[in-house]
Amino acid sequence: MTRPSHFSEPPKKSLGQHFLCDRGIIDRIVLAVNPKPGDRLVEIGPGQGAITFPLLDRHHELTVIEFDRDLIFPLTEAARAHGTLEVIHRDVLKVDFSAIAGGEGQIRLVGNLPYNLSSPILFHALEHAAAIRDMVFMLQKEVVDRMAAGPGSKIYGRLSVMLQAYCRVTPLFDVPPGAFRPPPKVDSAVVRMVPLPADAIGVRDRATFARVVRDAFGQRRKTLRNALSQVCDGAAIEAAGVRPDARAEQLEVADFVRLANSLEITGLADDPDDMP
């Protein structure tokens, strides 16, 4: 896929830009999104429009969030031949997704996320989970593997538990470096995330849950009794139906939820890095 004539700026290394250019991969992403009439689509980081324009051809209306000022004008101009494009020029971490959805509505998120900001963007999106129907994102494959990992896996950790507690995570397909310009040094993957209904989440206090998960995985080789010593003692862990001599990677997501719900921890400050 050649670069649209409107775009003259090369990818910016400072922004972690790697522009998707493989038409086959682009078509698979659009098929995964599969927009329907009435959907409110919002793309994060449209770049030079590799996913933007095929989505516009299919859906005719799209909102994009782009931080790079140099891409705003060429995106707007090129989009005229494809459909109606609304451009929000802002840092995505400062965008209120709930406000975009408005009232009782929900948005659908899609995007090739900058890999250096992927986790903060995921958690920011989950802060607005009630306003989001689903998310189809391209990320570093290693991150997607961690997001979807289960107990007992070496890559099962804090990210796995924090995301799976609030949404269903489904890896879709891998993307090789050659699908981008310039090619990144890592493999990528596309993942679908569907926020769970509020009554299916089960977490009573999000700050307590985040603290328990963070401390439990802070020193993976330690047992929960030792890793959580600043939060609770072994008796409290056992009272929640969890073995104090177990290690964090042995627990199911539901075990973390049950343990956190059994505790009352005061004075916790919300951490933007782990507070979906």
Looking at residue 244, its pLDDT comes to 97
Give residue-wise pLDDT tens across range 218-276: 988 899 999 999 999 999 999 999 999 999 999 999 999 999 999 976 555 455 455 55
For 230, other C-beta atoms within 10 Å of its C-beta total 9
Q: Which is more confident, 175 or 20?
A: 175
Residues tagged in the binding site annotation? 18, 20, 45, 66, 91, 112
Q: Which residues pair with 87 in a beta bridge?
A: 64
Average of per-residue pLDDT values in the chain: 90
Shortest CA distance to 89 belongs to which of 118, 63, 109, 59?
63
Region of residue 196 (left: phi > 0; alpha: psi -120 to 50; beta: else): beta
Give residue-wise pLDDT tens across range 48-92: 899 999 999 999 999 999 998 988 999 999 999 999 999 999 999
Looking at residue 273, its pLDDT comes to 55
pTM over 0.85: yes
Residues tagged in the binding site annotation for S-adenosyl-L-methionine? 18, 20, 45, 66, 91, 112
Domains and CATH numbers, the chain: 13-201 (3.40.50.150), 206-261 (1.10.8.100)
Q: Which is more confident, 206 or 11?
A: 206
Cα distance from N-terminal residue to C-terminal residue, the chain: 36
